[in-house]
Chain A
Amino acid sequence: MNTVEKIKILGSGSKFDACSCTPAMRAEHGTKHIGDTLGCAITRSATPDGKPISLFKVLYSNVCSFDCTYCPNRTGCSKQKTTFEDTELAAAFMKLYIQNYVEGLFLSSGVMKDPDTTMEQMLRSVTLLRETYQYRGYIHLKIMPGTNRDLVKQAGELADRLSINVEAPSQDRLTDLSTIKNLKIDVIRRQRWMDSQHIRSGHSTQFVVGGAGESDWEILRMAHWEYKNVGLQKAYYSAFKPVESTPLAAKKHVPVTREVSLTRSDFLMRSYKYSLADIHGILDDDGMLPQGDPKFHIALNEFDRPVDLNDLSYEELLRIPGIGHISAMRILRLQKQHKIRSAKQLHTMGVVMKRARPFLKLNGHAQTALTRFAR
C-alpha cells in the first residue's frame, strides 16, 4: 500500500480525536532547524462542516488488540488495517509542514502488539523528525494506556504535548466501553507520571460524551478532579457517534450541542475559576447542562438585580456575561480614575453589551427584564 492510501486510512482513523495546537515557548537559535512552536497560527483549513484543521492528525497504525465498543479499530473489526513506515510518515508530514498546510503533528495509534511496542515505534518516528529532519515545531503524542514509565518520559522529552484518553468518568462507565482498560492503573497513573515531568504544553485528555450513558455532571466532576489532582491542562469532549461494524453501531448519536455545553463549562472552570458548585447550580434533575451559554445561566442564578460595575472587583467583573479577561482589566484600570457611566464607553473597551447589559446598572439605570435577552 502506498503512502497516500495509508494517509486516507490512518487519517480517517484519527478524525474523532480532538486536539488543538497550543503554542509552547522553545528558544531556537541556529540556521538549520525547521519550524517553531511560537506561531500565532491556530488553524490552517476547515472541513466543509466547519471543523478546523491545524495538525497533521494521523494514527501510526490502526491495528489494535483492545476492544473499545465504539471504536472502528478494535480487535476483530474487519476494516482494512495498515501501519506507517517511519520514513514515509516523516516525509509526508514535513512536506505539508514546509508548505504551511499544517501547524504540527498529532500522532496517535491503535495498540498493536502491546502498549510498549507500539509506543516504541511511535517514538522512533518522532525521533527521526526531531533528529534527522531537525524539526522543532509542535508535536502532540498520544500515550497508549499501560505504557511503561521510561517510554512516557522519553515521549515527554520529544513532544510538546502528551495525552491519554480517560474516555469515561468512572471505572464502571469505562467497563461499559472497554473490558481491557483500567482507569486507575492504565490511565490515571500515566497522567501522574506526565504531571511530574516537564512537558512544554502539558497533557490533555478526551471524554467520549454519552458513550456509556453518563451525565454531564459525572463528566465535569471527573474533569475537575483531573485538573486538581493530575495537573491536566485541558479536557476535550467528543460527542459519541455510532460507527458501522462496532457493537455500538445501533446506539443513537449524541447531539453535538452537548459537546459544546461541556466545552464551555469546562472553559469556565479552567479559565474563569468557576467552582463545581457554580456549575452544579444550573444542572437539571438528570445532571445535564441546560441549552445555551452556561455563563449566562450561572449569572441568572447569581445576580438577582443589576449591579454597578464601578464597585466590582476583577473576579466579580469576570462573572458578568460579555466581560472577559481583557475587558475586565480595562474596566478595572479605568475604575480607579473615572466612574464608568455609558454603554458606549464599555463597548469601546471590548464588552459585549448585548450580553452584559441586562446585568448592569449604568448611571443609576438598568434594563428590567433579564430573560428577554439572547443567551
Chain B
Amino acid sequence: MVRQKRRFAPPSWNQQLELARRHSSFKEDLLLKIETQDKRLVRVQATPEARTLYNCYSQVMTEINQLMNYLRFTINPHGILHVSYTPRHSIEDVVVAQFHRRFPRFAIVLASARGTFVADMMTVLQLTKPLADVILDLENQRPRDPFLKDLNNTDDAIWEAFYRSQRRTTERDPKRVAAIVPKRFQKMPSFQLERELFAGATLKPFLPQH
C-alpha cells in the first residue's frame, strides 16, 4: 500500500525573509550584514546574524500558529466569523487568509490596533473602519447563511460542558498549561472558563521530574 506523503515543503529563503520582515523588531541592517557573510554558514544559521534572522522568522511563524490555535470566533448569522486581537508582529493578513482557506464559505474579520483585516471571496483587505462598521457593511453584502441557522451563537454551554468533562483531576499545573496555552492568550475574553478553572484548582504536589 502506498501511503500519502505528509511532508510539507520547507519555506524558501524568500518566503522566510518575507515572514521575518513582519517581526516587530526586524531591521534591514541585518540583511546587509548577512549579504557579506559566507553563504554556507548562513544556510545552516551558524553566524549570529543568520541566527537572528532565523529567530525573527521562527517567532513570526510561531505567532501565526498560535493565532491559528487560540483565536476563537464569534459567529454572525450572515456567515461572518470575527474576533478582536492585536498580535505582536504584523501578521493579521496572513492569519485571516489562512482561516479563509479553511472556511471559504465564511468571511473572516480580525480587528487589531493596526486596522480591521477582512478575508472574503479569496481577497484580503486592510480597512481603517472599526469592527462594528465592517460587520455592518458585510451584513449588507451577504445574505443570512442557512447553514448557521442551528448553531446558536450566544450560548457557550456546549464548550463549557465539554471542557469540564475532559478534566481528569482537580489539580493544576500552571507551567504545563502555560506551555500549551501561552499566558497572553489565556487573558483573552474567550478563555474566561479556562481561567476560572485554572485558578480554582489546587496546585499539584511535587512530582519527581522526568
Contact = CB atoms under 8 A, between A and B. Distances in A.
B140 interface: no
B43 A333 contact: yes
B130 interface: no
Contact of A12 (B65, B150, B165): B165
Nearest to A103: B69
A22 B43 CA distance: 29
- Chain A's interface: helix, strand, loop or mixed, by majority? loop
Interface string A136-157: 0000000000000000000000
Interface string A1-36: 001110111111001100000111100001111111
A96 B68 contact: no
A282 interface: no
A371 interface: no
A94 B81 CA distance: 14
Interface string B69-81: 1111111000001
Interface residues of B, number: 71
Contact of B210 (A9, A25, A291, A338): A291
Interface string B38-56: 0011011111101100000
Contacts of A32: 104-105
A227 interface: no
Nearest to A340: B46
Given A43-B69, A198-B3, A53 B158 contact: no
Contacts of B168: 15-16, 47, 49, 51, 241
B72 A99 contact: yes
Contacts of B147: 133
Contacts of A9: 165
B45 A330 contact: yes
Interface residues of A, number: 75
Which of B73, B173, B175, B180 has the largest count of A CB atoms less than 10 A from its CB?
B180
Nearest to A350: B45
A36 B98 CA distance: 11
Interface stretch (B11-19, B20-28, B111-119, B196-204): B196-204
A98 B46 contact: no
Nearest to A6: B161
B184 interface: no
A36 B101 contact: yes
Interface in A87-105: 91-92, 94-96, 98-101
B83 to A, nearest CB: 9
Interface in A29-85: 30-36, 39-53, 56-58
Given A39-B68, A43-B69, A291-B210, A48 B180 contact: no
A330 B197 contact: no
A231 B103 CA distance: 33
A53 B176 contact: no
Interface in A281-334: 291-293, 330, 333-334
A23 B6 CA distance: 8
A43 B181 contact: yes
A343 interface: no
Nearest to B3: A202
Contacts of A101: 72, 159
Closest 10 CB pairs of A and B: A50-B176, A11-B165, A50-B173, A48-B172, A46-B180, A48-B201, A12-B165, A7-B161, A330-B44, A95-B151
10 contacts: A5-B161, A11-B161, A16-B168, A24-B6, A45-B181, A57-B166, A99-B73, A99-B74, A100-B73, A231-B1
Given A22-B6, A45-B163, A95-B158, 19 more contacts: A4-B161, A5-B161, A7-B165, A34-B103, A34-B105, A39-B102, A48-B198, A49-B168, A49-B172, A49-B173, A91-B150, A95-B152, A96-B158, A96-B162, A133-B147, A198-B3, A330-B44, A334-B44, A348-B51
